Chains A and B, each alone.
Chain A
């Protein structure tokens, strides 16, 4: 199960969101040396606003394992506004209401046994597509390190480069990409990884009023899975 964290649900997932920003700082500012904004020990950018939808995979204690930010590109996006050179046909052609950007993708300790990280990574991809499809999003765009392009092509099946790589000032280079959000792609990925149930889970609005936490939602889901009842 992958948690879909909208602005309305941030109180439920406050602990995980704080952990996500800390991990982002560790990976992007400390690890990659990118010059990004730092605040309260975490990394933030202008995309972390109320339009941002975070997807999160949690462990059985509610600890954050994988996260990504999905966000509309209409007013601002990393690809269209900071890395426009990655789009050969012109970044503005992508400034449409039915396009989301995926960014700040992080993963931590995904697998303990052979192939486990691969399965979990596939669950996360399917959840991203499900969450986007539910909001009538037609395409997800983003940028990937050139060294990971082959991985992205294989993992996403329908990923297409949007242009030639652009070299970062800090070193390395990125390629812009787009992924169509279609039932066909979702179904092929589900079949490929033998997924029967939907992967994305969005807590109902009542969760906010009840004071339930992300960890409790995860634990409740796991308990139901163990007892054979699917949420």
Chain B
């Protein structure tokens, strides 16, 4: 439960972030707001733009000296379970939670070194964009600290404002290519329901078609979008602007 001054600091940032005139000022006010929640520092990393996956380099914010070079020199992005989790999850999660998903020894090495270099754990907040982009805002916190759902959602809201306001100071990525073959309307309908996690049986029931026909449309959409799994289909459809989330 936040005390009144902390709550006021957090709300002020949520309300005013988009009117802040410089990136330095934005950083400064964001850090004040996340410190009110008990976080230490923040870094913004772009993972994807216009359907293309990008190397996870910090764009703004603070990472420990040398960490980024060390990360890329060791090809850690291949073993970094936080990256696929960011694509799959709508909710924030910690490095500790991402490390627990790892099965490779290099993943354990990566997170062991990350905890040491950063001297902290990190809450990763995925931020999705209108142009099919995915960014994350990493907020450092004391190792072993439990972050409850109210703190996570407040941090996520702050991170969303930070990311959107911060991106306003940078150039936008190029728009995506056209699909070689557009989806049919039936395929598009099936893709929409795949994005909501529906099975072929569910989709068949919703659209009054057979499970087999639903599967046929989903497979055709996967081929057209060049992906092999339903999760990738959902992500790619979102990234290409084929599906947009309703707001409320």
Q: Residues of A at under 8 Å CB distance from B?
A: 26-27, 31, 59, 66, 68, 88, 102-118, 120-121, 142-156, 160-161, 163-165, 167, 171-173, 175
Contacts and interface: CB of A to CB of B under 8 A. Distances in A.
30 contacts: A103-B248, A105-B248, A107-B244, A107-B245, A108-B189, A111-B188, A112-B185, A113-B183, A114-B177, A114-B242, A117-B242, A117-B243, A118-B130, A142-B248, A143-B248, A144-B248, A147-B91, A148-B247, A149-B156, A150-B129, A151-B128, A151-B129, A151-B245, A154-B129, A161-B161, A163-B14, A167-B150, A173-B153, A173-B156, A175-B14
B82 interface: no
A107 B248 contact: no
B184 A173 contact: no
B178 interface: yes
Contact of A110 (B15, B130, B178, B192): B192
B248 A113 contact: no
Nearest to B240: A114
A147 B177 contact: no
B176 A115 contact: yes
Nearest to A179: B247
Nearest 9 Cβ contacts at the A-B interface: A173-B153, A147-B90, A105-B246, A109-B189, A150-B160, A165-B153, A121-B244, A118-B241, A142-B248
A102 B247 contact: yes
Interface of B: 2, 7, 10-11, 14-15, 18, 90-91, 126-131, 149-150, 153-154, 156-157, 160-161, 163-164, 175-179, 182-185, 187-189, 191-192, 196-197, 206, 240-248
A59 B185 contact: yes
Contacts, number: 154
B153 A146 contact: yes
A105 B34 CA distance: 31
A145 B243 CA distance: 17
Contacts of B242: 110-114, 116-117
A147 B175 CA distance: 23
Contacts of A109: 185, 188-189, 191-192
Contacts of A113: 178-179, 182-183, 242
A153 B161 contact: yes
Given A149-B157, A150-B160, A160 B196 contact: no
The interface centre, meaning the residue of B131, B154, B187 with most chain A CB atoms within 10 A of its CB, is B154
A160 B15 contact: yes
A31 B196 contact: yes
B153 A142 contact: no
A204 to B, nearest CB: 29
A36 B12 CA distance: 33
B149 A167 contact: yes
B10 to A, nearest CB: 6
A interface: dominant SS: mixed
Contacts of B206: 26
Contacts of B156: 146-147, 149, 165, 173
Contact of B246 (A68, A118, A143, A161): A68
Given A26-B206, A142-B247, A165 B157 contact: yes
Contacts of B90: 145, 147
B7 A148 contact: no
Given A144-B247, A151-B129, A153-B164, A111 B157 contact: no
B175 A115 contact: yes
A91 to B, nearest CB: 15
A127 B199 CA distance: 33
Contacts of B188: 109-112
Contact of B149 (A106, A155, A173): A173
A164 to B, nearest CB: 5
Given A115-B241, A146-B156, A154-B129, A164 B7 contact: yes
Contact of A88 (B11, B164, B246): B11
Given A153-B160, A153-B161, A106 B150 contact: no
A1 B84 CA distance: 38
A150 B163 contact: yes
Interface centre among A88, A116, A150, A173 (most CB of B within 10 A): A150
Contacts of A154: 129-131, 164
A151 B248 contact: no
Residue in A66, A163, A164, A167 with the greatest tally of chain B CB atoms within 10 Å:
A164
Residue of B130, B175, B178 with most chain A CB atoms under a 10 A cut-off: B130
